[in-house]
Structure 1
Amino acid sequence: MKLTYAAFAFLGLLWGSNFTYMKWAAALISPAQITLLRVFFGFLPLAFAAWHAGAIDRRQLRYLPHFLVMAIVATAFYYFAIVKGTALLPSGVAGVLGGSIALFTAVASLLVLRTERLNRLMAVGVACGFAGIVLIARPWEGADRSIDLAGVIWMVAGAAVLGLSYVYVRRFLSPANLPPLALSTWQIGLALPVLLLLTDFTGIGRILQDWHAAIGVAVGLGVLGTGAAFLIYYYLVQELGAVAASGSTYITPIVALLIGWATGEKVGMLEVAAVVLILGSIAMLQIGRQRALRETAGVQHPDGRRRAP
């Protein structure tokens, strides 16, 4: 059990530090180039693990169109969007906004999946989450903005797209009962040729001018922050269950904000309040969803009353 909790904390640390690595690399190469390098180095450990576990099967080719959708939307675009947003924002602020994925997943589930029911606690959670995003964006500021609104839009777009992708998986891929490792390997692997076709390689060698940035992208962002993070996450899902494993998203924005503060970024009351609101919204959405599921799972008495099964 100690190993499980250590893995839980390590996953939050990996995801939270990703924003710092993106910030370093963004000073040297383009967001598209960073995305390509991240996917390439992240694919290596996933491909090895999938081969070692025998997770890839020829019969999975029937789901290739769905894998391609996930590769383009949930990998290529999502990674590009958060790199683009992080390049325009302080890394700590980007990390806080990156923690809003669960919020958009819940909203997308409520809008698309008929099995999801909105209750009062979930509604309050959604409101708190968007309030946290507004605090980060600071729309009341004038021309001398301290936060780049375009960066906020890129981060929110990435979180929203990834949230929708979870709903897509539940609707089209979950019924197939594919191993999570297989789905991730197909998703990351197919994103690689897409990015190779779309990325301009001009100046990509500049990343080698700064070994901190080069190692940060290859090892920190790729091998650890993408490949190893996927593997650790699936280990936690197996040991703790999906709901408990998703709690690592609570750690990510806090880690990102602390790293940003330690490297000289300004962290004020607005940032802290935004973290509290976004993390609080995630907690309320998870608790509210579990309550809704318990209510839906109730069975009918012959006289029409409901009781727990």
Structure 2
Amino acid sequence: MKDQQEKWLYFTILCLVWGSSFILMKKALLGVTPIQLGALRMIFTAVFLLLVAFPSLKKIKKKHYKYICYTAISGTFIPGFLFAFAITNIDSSIVAILNSLTPFNTLIFGALIFGFAFKRRQLYGILVGLVGTLLLILKGADLNPNQNYWYAVFIIIGSVGYALNANMIKKYLNDLNALSIVTGNFLLLLVPAIIVLSCTDFFSTFDLKNEVFVQSLGYIAILSIVGTSIAKTIYNKLVHISDPVFSSSVTYVIPLVAVFWGVLDGEKLSLLQIIGGLIILLGVYLVNKKKK
């Protein structure tokens, strides 16, 4: 399969998987706290990866581990908790929309810190996508006046972490395969996540007879295996065969999937938000449009 076809396949899979992750987090939070959700997701993912992909760790060299650690913190540990807290106060679809700031941050930090060049067309695409995102946010705030939009700051910080993660993978880990990076990330996060979880009341309130609690664990398992283990491996592969800006532009399409699930769950959607979604798609097209 040609790289162009392959990267669009990966892009589509990530949109569907990560777009569905927000509603899964919302459902999981019915039985666990935000901190427990973040920690459990990392623990489940780490255990799964170490069981199925432990041999991939052999490919990690000493020079890689510093950046494996940096990407684990910026791309998983910090955003994992911030997003969980945000979803307790803002609709899951709106959280996904706010995450659309990631491509913009990727472009800015890539140019300012990592020395990556970008095409003028990519900047235009990012700005068009931001216009669509702004429409979605403003209308979302209008439809949901009782929600605490101060928690949007958590998503903005998380998007900066994702931006740093994408640029570091492209610049410092481009010679390491995607599965090794993800497995290395969660190997380093396993102990810190267990420590964080032990500081909550999770073990003292653990009750498999509680149906809501068991369902929450099931949602977290799906999030961990599909939404984190598999999806992050695909994402790292996408960064390798394309570039950080295109890869992070997946966050512009994720809201379309997240809004769909949100509407099914009773969240509100307006015509203006649909128009904003179409503008977002135009932005993604411009980011990747080849010059003839």
For normalisation by structure 1, the TM-score amounts to 0.76
Which residue is 1:28 aligned to? 31
Partners in 1 of 2:45 and 2:256 — Cα distance? 23
Deviation track 1:142-168 (CA, whole Å, cap 9, x = no partner) reads 9x8354312322222211211122112
Partners in 1 of 2:36 and 2:220 — Cα distance? 10
Matched, 1:103 2:104: yes
Which residue is 2:166 aligned to? 166
| Mapping of residues 251-262 of structure 1, within 5 Å | 251-262=253-264
Judged with a 3 Å threshold, the aligned counterparts in structure 2 of structure 1 residues 150 and 122 are, in CA distance, closer, same or farther, namely same
| Mapping of residues 122-133 of structure 1, within 5 Å | 122-133=122-133
Matched, 1:277 2:279: yes
Match of 2:182 among 181, 184, 192: 184
8 Å CA contact 2:56–2:183 kept in 1: the answer is no
Offset of residue 197 of structure 1: 2.8
Deviation track 1:84-139 (CA, whole Å, cap 9, x = no partner) reads 222221112222223442332222222223341351x3332232333334334439
Counterpart AA for 2:281: L
Which residue is 2:200 aligned to? 201
Instruction: Determine helix, strand or coil for the equivalent of 2:282.
Output: helix
> Structure 1: any 5+ residue segments left out of the alignment?
295-309
Counterpart AA for 2:226: L
> Structure 2: any 5+ residue segments left out of the alignment?
none
Identity of aligned residues (%): 22
Partners in 1 of 2:187 and 2:113 — Cα distance? 28
Judged with a 3 Å threshold, the aligned counterparts in structure 2 of structure 1 residues 41 and 18 are, in CA distance, closer, same or farther, namely same
| Mapping of residues 113-152 of structure 1, within 5 Å | 113-119=114-120, 121-138=121-138, 145-152=145-152
Instruction: Determine helix, strand or coil for the equivalent of 2:88.
Output: helix
Partners in 2 of 1:139 and 1:264 — Cα distance? 16
Offset of residue 59 of structure 1: 5.9
Offset of residue 207 of structure 1: 7.9
Offset of residue 34 of structure 1: 0.5
Counterpart AA for 1:215: G
Partners in 2 of 1:154 and 1:259 — Cα distance? 22
Partners in 1 of 2:236 and 2:69 — Cα distance? 21
| Mapping of residues 45-124 of structure 1, within 5 Å | 45-51=48-54, 54-57=55-58, 60-119=61-120, 121-124=121-124
- What's the RMSD between the two structures over aligned residues? 3.4
Deviation track 1:21-51 (CA, whole Å, cap 9, x = no partner) reads 1112223322221011111112233223423
8 Å CA contact 2:93–2:259 kept in 1: the answer is yes
Partners in 1 of 2:165 and 2:110 — Cα distance? 10
Offset of residue 8 of structure 1: 6.5
Q: Which has the larger radius of gyration?
A: 1
8 Å CA contact 1:71–1:190 kept in 2: the answer is yes
Deviation track 1:248-271 (CA, whole Å, cap 9, x = no partner) reads 656532221111111111011343
Judged with a 3 Å threshold, the aligned counterparts in structure 2 of structure 1 residues 116 and 10 are, in CA distance, closer, same or farther, namely closer
Judged with a 3 Å threshold, the aligned counterparts in structure 2 of structure 1 residues 48 and 279 are, in CA distance, closer, same or farther, namely farther
Counterpart AA for 2:30: A
Judged with a 3 Å threshold, the aligned counterparts in structure 2 of structure 1 residues 31 and 230 are, in CA distance, closer, same or farther, namely same
Counterpart AA for 2:98: L
Partners in 1 of 2:107 and 2:31 — Cα distance? 36
Deviation track 1:143-201 (CA, whole Å, cap 9, x = no partner) reads x8354312322222211211122112333333xx1121111111122122222233432
Matched, 1:15 2:14: no
